[in-house]
Structure formats: C-alpha cells, structure tokens
Amino acid sequence: MPERKFMMAVLDDQWRGRNVLKMPETIDIGILLLRRPRLTDIDAIFEYGSDQQVSYYADWKRLTDKTSLESRLISRDEAWMDGTEYNWVITEKVNDTAIGGLSCTIQDGKAEIGYLLNRKYWNRGYTTDVVKKVIGILVNDACVKSVWATCDKDNAGSIRVLEKSGMKREKLLKKFRVRPNISEKPRDAYLYIYRAV
Ligand SMILES: CC(C)(COP(=O)(O)OP(=O)(O)OC[C@H]1O[C@@H](n2cnc3c(N)ncnc32)[C@H](O)[C@@H]1OP(=O)(O)O)[C@@H](O)C(=O)NCCC(=O)NCCS
C-alpha cells in the first residue's frame, strides 16, 4: 500500500507537532508549478533519473530500475517534515507531469540548492526561472542570508543556469566530489553563491 505509507509519514508529523521551517508546498512559476513529489510521479522521475545525459554529472548512480524510488520518496517526505531537506518536482501546469526536481537544504541561514530537468525540456529557460524564483523565496520569505550551489567544472549548462540566476562563482573546489557516472575519481567543482543584500 505505497500511497498509505506516504500518507502515514504526513500524518505522523502532524501528530508530532514539531516546529520546523515550512517552505511552500507549491510554487507558481508561470507555466510551471513546483509541488511536493507523489508516489504517482515514480515513472516520470525514472524517465529523467535513468537518462544518461541528465545523470551524467550527478553525484548518484544513474537509475537502472524503479524499485528504490518508493523508499526515496518516502524518506524525502520525512525530510520535508523534519525540515532537513525540501524537495519539489518541477511540473508543467498543463498536465501536472514531473519533468524535473529541485532540492534545498537550509542550515545556519544558508541554503543549498540542486536541480535537474528531463532532457526533453532543456534550453527553454525553465530551470533558470525555477532557480530565480526559489532564491527569491529563500531570501525574502525564509530570510536566508545566502544561497549556494556547486556544480562540476565541466557542466556548462548548469554553470549558465547559476550565472543567469544571479549567483556568483566564488571558488574552484579541487577534487570536490565523485561523479559515479563519469569515474570513481573526485572531480573539481565550482562553488556559486547568491548573497542577500
Ligand atoms: C542543468 C540543467 C538543469 C539546465 O536546465 P535548463 O532548463 O535547460 O536550463 P536553462 O534553459 O534555464 O538554461 C540553460 C543554459 O545553458 C546553456 N547550455 C546548455 N548546454 C550547454 C553547453 N553544453 N554548453 C554551453 N551552454 C550550454 C543554454 O544555452 C542556456 O543558456 P542561454 O539561455 O544563455 O542560451 C539541465 O541541463 C539538466 O538537467 N542537466 C543535468 C542535471 C544537472 O546537471 N543538474 C545540475 C547539477 S549542479
């Protein structure tokens, strides 16, 4: 009963009644809507998570089957309730299908973001619109002082998104992270930061 397990996580948190920062569950961005993932998104998430190009620079192994996705979505639901990590899927309002995702963790007034998008939708400005909107919410509503992201130093599309979103390259991080779909050796990455004025 996967949907039931998912609901249990939601209800359980309400009973615990903890005081955590609540980010908006939906974010309206013109033709796009960010919303919390559902178990019914598994096929759509698998489509981009198993794509060789989408997962190329990821710090996780390309998905090869859907079996781990249910537990991943349940743990994301729990992380949302704990306030440890917020995950949204990116959807086109017209059909509500998950075409990508954005994650965010907030600690000590600093937020880290990460994102990915189904390759069919690349180069339409979608991710830049999403990142700009989320930075605005983090800085203006959640009162974070800075928003940061890292990306592989060869990930030209992501670098462009970060720069178009107003983030500044602050540092080259040598041997920062393993990208297991490329090699087992840690690779250099850039640190980008948006600082609230
Ligand atoms: C990075 C990613 C999210 C970008 O999404 P997107 O919606 O296509 O991004 P946008 O359309 O807002 O902007 C992409 C920009 O990168 C540019 N770009 C894309 N590929 C490029 C490449 N190989 N070299 C140079 N520029 C590139 C586009 O031309 C565009 O810039 P422009 O508007 O100046 O023309 C998407 O490519 C993706 O999912 N990649 C795989 C996952 C990933 O790398 N995530 C980031 C981890 S840090």
pLDDT at 143: 87
Distance (Å) of CA 23 to CA 77, 82, 87, 176, 195 = 13, 11, 10, 29, 19
Ligand 1 centre to CA of 167 (Å) is: 15
Ligand 1: residues with CB < 6 A are 54, 57, 114-117, 122-128, 151, 155-158, 160-161
Asked whether the predicted pLDDT for residue 3 surpasses 50, the reply is no
Query: Which residues does 60 contact at the CB level (< 8 Å), separation at least 6?
Result: 180
Prediction pTM value? 0.92
Query: Which pairing describes strands 146-152 and 86-92: parallel, antiparallel, or unpaired?
Result: unpaired
Ligand 1 centre to CA of 154 (Å) is: 12
Query: Which residues does 17 contact at the CB level (< 8 Å), separation at least 6?
Result: none
In the 3-class helix/strand/coil scheme, how is the chain assigned residue by residue?
CHHHHHHHHHHHHHHHCCCCCCCCCEEEECCEEEECCCHHHHHHHHHHHCCCCCCCCCCCCCCCCCHHHHHHHHHHHHHHHHCCCEEEEEEECCCCCEEEEEEEEEECCEEEEEEEECHHHCCCCHHHHHHHHHHHHHHHCCCCCEEEEEEECCCHHHHHHHHHCCCEEEEEEEEEEECCCCCCCEEEEEEEEEECC
| Mean pLDDT for the stretch of residues 132-145 | 94
What digits encode the pLDDT tens for the residues 92-114? 999 999 999 999 999 999 999 99
Using a pLDDT cut of 70, give the percent of the chain over it. Answer: 89
Using a pLDDT cut of 90, give the percent of the chain over it. Answer: 86
| Domains of the chain as residue ranges with CATH | 2-147 (3.40.630.30)
Asked whether the predicted pLDDT for residue 41 surpasses 80, the reply is yes
What digits encode the pLDDT tens for the residues 53-78? 999 999 999 999 999 999 999 999 99
Q: Among 104, 127, 167, 191, which residue has the most ligand 1 atoms within 8 Å of its CB, making it the best to mutate?
A: 127
**38-59 b/e (C-beta count within 10 Å ≥ 16 → b):** ebebbebbbbbbebeebbebbb
pLDDT at 16: 47
Nearest by Cα to 190 from 168, 65, 179: 168
What digits encode the pLDDT tens for the residues 116-134? 999 999 999 999 999 999 9
Nearest alpha carbon, ligand 1 atom 3: 116
Distance (Å) of CA 84 to CA 75, 87, 108 = 11, 10, 12
Average per-residue pLDDT in the chain? 91
- Which position has the token pair 């899927």? 89
Asked whether the predicted pLDDT for residue 152 surpasses 70, the reply is yes
